[in-house]
Amino acid sequence: METAGEDGVRSRKQSFPLPQIRTKKEPDGDEDVVGAPSSMVEEDEQPLSPAARLFHSPNINCYIIAVMGCKTKFDAEVIKVGLEMTLVKHPRFSSLMVVEGERSKKMKWVRTKVNVEDHIIIPDLNPNIDSPDQFLEDYLWEITKTPLELSKPLWEFHILNLKTSDAEAVGIFRVHHSMGDGSSLVSLLLACTRKASDPTSLPTVPNKKRAVSETGAGFWSVFLAIWSVIRLIWNTAVDMLLYGATVMILKDSETPIKGTPTQELNTRRFVHRTVSLEDVKLVKNAMNATINDVVLGVTQAGLSQYLDRRYGEKSNEKRPKERKSHVPKNLRVRSTVLVNLRPSAGIQALADMMEKESKTRWGNWIGYIILPFTIGLRDNPVDYIREAKAAIDRKKQSLEAVCAYYLAQLFVRVFGVKISACLTHRILSNATLSFSNVVGPVEEISFFGHKMAYLAPSVYGHPQALTVHYQSYMDKITISVAVDPKAIPDPYRLLDDLEHSLKLIKEAVLKMEKVANGSL
């Protein structure tokens, strides 16, 4: 049955009868073996992992949004056939989330037959829309107001044949976070794409290079190894003490971008900006840093500029001569930085899982660190990169993300979902923002024959007013921000500050290199 709402969006509603279930026992861990051989894949059930159950709690009911800009109009029939051949074969995308028992409320995945048309939404668009970009922003905002229906698998794909400033058409994936972590879901989406230059080949995504330690041999290498272990234990202990303090009493400063305790109940606005990845790499090489160091430094610089303006507008006074910034001193601003703990098997394994039903690990396997941001205007913009690199290098010598992950699993098993969700909610609400950075394909790709212009993933449903996500693609990197408009009513100004900060940092690096070469 199809119904048309006031906004002209078609939605299909249909309840599927639950199939007869053959139980296949799986460990109640956060990783599930999915895509098993066909002899094992019957109508079965699998319990939700602890992390998946957390994402269904009322105060952390999270969704992942992936906005895909394409260079051509979408052919809905081609998209439908493509999804049937790929995504629908993934066990999570062909399973219902079922709750059994009024008291025990056992949550499990139950395989079902999927009608792809029930998951494709095509709005009836006015071809003469005055502001397509504003329409897209409003459309995404409206999406956050309604939950996905539990009568079908928890995903949907919106097709908007709408010409915006940076795409000929826009596709929007919305997936419940219990289906998997953001990194895995983006990788799964990329596994559905192919190189534009070779429709038979999967995209090339750079693998993360691990640093190789060159400590030599003998007494000195043994001493360094022992010292590294001591430092790892000490840093982990300190981080976990701060982690516990954040749960109990340690809150960030109240700033214009800080969320409220009921922030997860508010709607979100999503905006994005594409900047040059080559500029990021230029800074990275000059500072002997990583791309993650650079984008974190750019984020600190952009937030510093944005908060300086907001505080200046609030005071409506001229800046005192003895101060360089309107921003109050000693602000505590921290970000929860998502860390993918899964050894990456690449998108080839996910493509094989959908095509050949091979065994692949799946689930929410993410931890996070609580990273302090240094907020304030700097005389030298390069200092933001130095500070970010120092903070990240310190966190690399800690098992905070791993401990946070296993601690969350332990709390769910011992105290239940309700108490664990409250603790997770306190951690997130006591910090200011969330941050993530995902590496994408290095060449142009197509989504079932539709060449992609950009990919802008994000998330909503958690109690923070600001989420910043970086997604690289070819020679570009897209900055996506999800904001609560009550706290951040001008997200495009924030994007301006982030883009301007990258420009200032790049100019400072070039000037620094000229000085070092003696040409200035």
Q: Which of 56, 119, 176, 177 is catalytic?
A: 177
Asked whether residue 205 is domain-assigned, the answer is no
Tokens read off for 363: 């689930």
d(CA 73, CA 30): 39
Same domain, 312 and 165: no
- Band of pLDDT at residue 389, cut at 50, 70 and 90: very high
Last residue of a domain, one of 195, 211, 230: 195
Residue 426 sits in which domain range? 222-437+475-517
The domain total for the chain is 2
- Is pLDDT of 10 > 50? no
CA 342 to centroid of chain Cα atoms: 15
> What does the pLDDT look like over 364-387, one tens digit per residue?
677 889 999 999 999 999 999 999
Asked whether residue 426 is domain-assigned, the answer is yes
Domain with residue 361: its CATH number is 3.30.559
Same domain, 240 and 106: no
Question: How many H helices and E strands in the chain?
Answer: 12, 20
Same domain, 44 and 169: yes
- Is pLDDT of 41 > 90? no
Domain with residue 151: its CATH number is 3.30.559.10
Same domain, 226 and 142: no
- Band of pLDDT at residue 519, cut at 50, 70 and 90: low
Least confident segment among 107-116, 146-155, 186-195: 186-195
**3-state SS assignment for residue 213:** coil
Same domain, 163 and 273: no
Q: Residues 376-414, buried b or exposed e (16+ Cβ, 10 A)?
A: bebeebbbbbebbbebbeebeebbbbebbbebbbebbee
Instruction: Give φ, ψ of 200 to 5 degrees.
Output: -100, -5
Tokens read off for 394: 């310190």
Asked whether residue 416 is domain-assigned, the answer is yes
**Of residues 426, 423, 395, the one with CA closest to residue 410:** 423
Average pLDDT on 168-192 reads 89
Asked whether residue 427 is domain-assigned, the answer is yes
Q: Given phi > 0 = left and psi -120 to 50 = alpha, else beta, which region is 468?
A: beta
Task: Please name the amino acid found at residue 217.
Answer: A
Same domain, 151 and 229: no
Same domain, 238 and 139: no
Model-level pTM? 0.85
Same domain, 227 and 180: no
177 catalytically annotated? yes
Last residue of a domain, one of 179, 195, 211: 195
Same domain, 118 and 257: no
